[in-house]
């Protein structure tokens, strides 16, 4: 896996580069292109996934809105957020999309654990969440009984600290995950994050941790490389 830390880059140019990389590696004669991992942060931007609805963006103001081909709905990217784009040939890696998403989430959970934070999955709502009252506690979340599915995810007492959204084309995945480190969280109040009106967004700073962007990026990079290995 080739790792590139881009630093602060525009979203649209990065999106275009991901598409071009994935198109080129899918071309005849280029099946052995090495996987890549791009680490970066973006200037303020709202991005809409394929399921995105305009009514989930209340007041974009001067923040641009970009339509994308990833899964999911609207989210916000901005300075102080580590964005990771793994560009992975899933067929060569030997796992399907569901397991790939699990591995992305596990890398985020392990990154948080490195800093003493307990991250949680919520059934039906991809991403990673923390308990607002005790983000460092290890008690697991209550889950639905086996075979039952809640009408909608229960975010009571939770804050979302990491998001993910992917696109798979010809067995090759792109887009990726975002970990909130020390952001201006106000833009999240202008949207229904990921389409949920009752979802609070947090970062490491608001739960009491002072972690630099570079340190968080380094740990997330390490955990992604480890968990995306064959």
Confidence at residue 30, expressed as pLDDT on a 0 to 100 scale: 62
**Overall average pLDDT of the 69-74 stretch:** 89
Give the span between the Cα atoms of 77 and 176, in whole angstroms.
12
Q: State the catalytic residues.
A: 194
Rounded to 10 degrees, the C-alpha dihedral 35/91/20/214 comes to: -40
Q: Which of 80-89, 97-106, 159-168, 184-193 comes out lowest in average pLDDT?
A: 184-193
What's the pLDDT band for 29 if we cut at 50, 70, 90?
A: low
138's CB contacts (< 8 A; 6+ apart) are 118
Tell me if 160 sits within 8 A of 128, measured CB to CB. yes
- End-to-end CA distance of the chain: give it in Å, rounded: 11
Answer yes or no: is pLDDT of 72 > 90. no
pLDDT band for 28, please (50, 70, 90 cuts).
Answer: low
Instruction: State yes or no: pLDDT of 105 exceeds 60.
Output: yes
Q: What is the pLDDT of residue 153?
A: 82
Q: What is the mean pLDDT of residues 199-228?
A: 96
Grade residue 147 by pLDDT with cuts at 50, 70 and 90: very low
The pLDDT score that the predictor gives to residue 196 is 75
Domains of the chain: 2-142+154-227 (3.30.930.10)
**What contacts 113, CB < 8 A, 6 or more positions away?**
119
State the Cα–Cα distance between residues 50 and 159, nearest whole angstrom.
Answer: 24
Q: What is the pLDDT of residues 153-174, one digit of tens each?
A: 888 899 999 999 999 998 999 9
SS3 state of residue 29: coil
Q: Region 9-38: what's the mean pLDDT?
A: 88
The 8-class DSSP code of residue 144 comes to: P
% of the chain surpassing 90 pLDDT: 72
Give residue 144's pLDDT band: very low, low, confident or very high (50, 70, 90).
very low
Which is more confident, 28 or 206? Answer: 206
Q: pLDDT digit string (tens) for 39-57?
A: 999 999 999 988 888 888 8
Q: 14 falls in which pLDDT band (50, 70, 90)?
A: very high
Percent of the chain past pLDDT 70, that is, above it, reads 94
pTM of the model: 0.93
């Amino acid at each position: 896996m080739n790792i590139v830390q881009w630093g602060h880059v525009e979203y649209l140019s990065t999106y275009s580069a991901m598409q071009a990389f994935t198109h080129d590696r899918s071309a005849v004669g280029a099946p052995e292109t090495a996987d890549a991992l791009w680490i970066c942060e973006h200037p303020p931007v709202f991005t809409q996934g394929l399921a995105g609805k305009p009514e989930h963006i209340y007041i974009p103001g001067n923040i641009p809105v970009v339509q994308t081909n990833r899964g999911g709905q609207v989210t916000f990217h901005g300075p102080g957020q580590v964005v990771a784009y793994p560009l992975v040939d899933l067929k060569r890696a030997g796992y399907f999309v569901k397991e790939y998403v699990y591995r992305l989430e596990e890398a985020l959970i392990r990154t948080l654990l490195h800093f003493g934070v307990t991250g949680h999955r919520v059934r039906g709502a991809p991403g990673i969440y923390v308990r607002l009252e005790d983000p460092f506690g290890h008690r697991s979340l209550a889950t639905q009984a086996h075979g039952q599915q809640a009408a909608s995810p229960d975010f009571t007492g939770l804050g979302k600290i990491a998001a993910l959204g992917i696109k798979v084309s010809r067995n090759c995945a792109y887009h990726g995950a975002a970990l909130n480190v020390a952001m201006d969280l106000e833009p999240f109040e202008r949207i229904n994050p990921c389409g949920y009106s009752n979802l609070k967004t947090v970062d490491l700073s608001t739960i009491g941790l002072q972690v630099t962007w570079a340190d968080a990026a380094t740990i997330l990079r390490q955990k992604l490389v480890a968990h995306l290995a064959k």
